[in-house]
Amino acid sequence: MLISALWGSEGPMLVLNNVGEFQRLSGLRVDLGLASHTPRAEKPMTTHTYSSYLEIDKLLSAQRSMTDSDDELLFIVIHQAHELWFKLAIHELTCAIEALQRERPSNSDCIIAFKRLSRVSEIQRVLIASWDVLTTLTPDEFHVFRLTVGQNGASGFQSIQYRVLEFKLGLKYRTVHFEKQADDGFQTVEFDVFANARSDDDRQALNNALNRPSIYDAVNYFISKHLPMFGVQDALIGDYDEHYRKKLSVFNAWRYVYQNRELEPELYQLGEKLVDLEDAFRRWRFVHLATVSRVIGNSTGTGGSTGLRYLRQAANKLLDDPMYPELWDVRNAMFSPTEFDLKSAGY
């Protein structure tokens, strides 16, 4: 029954057991606690089970081992799970960027972005923890199927979503440099990440993420509107495909926020959430490095890089050249006021 009757202090009351029936009878839109000012187009109702809604059969049929190893399934599931989490993180970052880049953003948009980034932060925790599962794969177990997994140079280096995620976070680049072993030692190779695109959709995804604002670009835009007295607007770049360079106006704005957290609580929390993201991304890289070291030692990567050597360089790079440099310089200025110098810091 969709409607039942209860007796209240003033007589019978109608109790609707189905939100859709309430909407039909009243003409009102109910969004389960979330107010909506513009009706959304309703999708045709279909009958779903848990399995059909989540497409479990399709999901569970995607793990195809290429050897007889009982341990290959672990490797496949871990990396497929990574790709699913990448997809969600990219979605949440996109929502946060859109909220911050409204024509007239408000504190409520800042709070929405914070909520989205909090979800990304939790996704990062799951991703980092997943390496612990992979460390249960011992060298002799991995050796059985590694050559099959890495045939034709197959490698996580080729993940399109991982590149998109880095671009959304603020790591912008078109090429990467890594060392390959040569007869006389090592030679540096430049690689265009777009070469990994397998389809027009892949290329479009990379192109869009590279040429559109990252989350830090969006935050700087919000600051330019919310704290116009610092002149951040003049420092905003139009070419988003370039590596971000620190800006004095952005540093001054963040220093003000951290010195006046009671006046700018939303921006203060957003700044700390950005630091959470970068800190977690650093740990992701270092735990990845440690996992590879544990399983394959110093061996060459299946993608042709120097393996551990390349991963170490990538992990250390974020310490020397952070994604959100002004937020880290605020810390340097706070704890070493007599030593911190704007010119020496690169401003």
Give me the CATH code for the 72-335 domain, please. Answer: 1.20.58.480
DSSP string across 39-63: PPPPPPP----HHHHHTHHHHHT--
Residue 30 in this model has a pLDDT that exceeds 50: no
Contact 302, 149 (CB under 8 A): yes
Tens of pLDDT, residue by residue over 242-280, are 999 999 999 999 999 999 999 999 999 999 999 999 999
d(CA 1, CA 10): 23
Q: What is the pLDDT of residue 25?
A: 40
Q: Which of 213, 215, 174, 214 is nearest to 197 (CA)?
A: 174
Buried b (16+ CB within 10 A) or exposed e, 123-160: bbeebbebbeebeebeeebbeebbeebeeeeeeebbeb
Q: What is the pLDDT of residue 152?
A: 67
* pLDDT confidence bin for 169, thresholds 50/70/90: very high
Contact 144, 67 (CB under 8 A): yes
Tens of pLDDT, residue by residue over 309-329, are 888 988 999 999 999 999 999
d(CA 202, CA 160): 7
Tens of pLDDT, residue by residue over 74-103, are 999 999 999 999 999 999 999 999 999 999
* pLDDT confidence bin for 148, thresholds 50/70/90: confident
Domain boundaries, the chain: 1-40, 72-335
Contact 168, 94 (CB under 8 A): yes
* H helix or E strand, kind and range, residue 15: strand 11-16
Q: Which of 333, 100, 325, 318 is nearest to 220 (CA)?
A: 100
Q: Which of 7-21, 230-244, 303-317 has the largest mean confidence?
A: 230-244
d(CA 33, CA 250): 37
Tens of pLDDT, residue by residue over 180-218, are 766 777 778 888 999 999 999 999 999 999 999 999 999
**pTM, rounded to two decimals:** 0.84
